Amino acid sequence: MNKPPLAGRYDNLIGGQWVAPKSGKYSAGSCIMRNHDLVSGGFLAVTVVGFVLLCSSLLAFAFS
pLDDT tens for each residue of 1-33:
787 776 666 787 888 888 888 887 776 655 555
Query: What pLDDT, on a 0 to 100 scale, did the predictor assign at position 53?
Result: 95
Query: What pLDDT, on a 0 to 100 scale, did the predictor assign at position 3?
Result: 78
Entry pTM? 0.39
Q: Is 25 left (phi over 0), alpha (psi -120 to 50) or beta?
A: beta
Query: What pLDDT, on a 0 to 100 scale, did the predictor assign at position 14?
Result: 85
CB 11 within 8 A of CB 18: yes
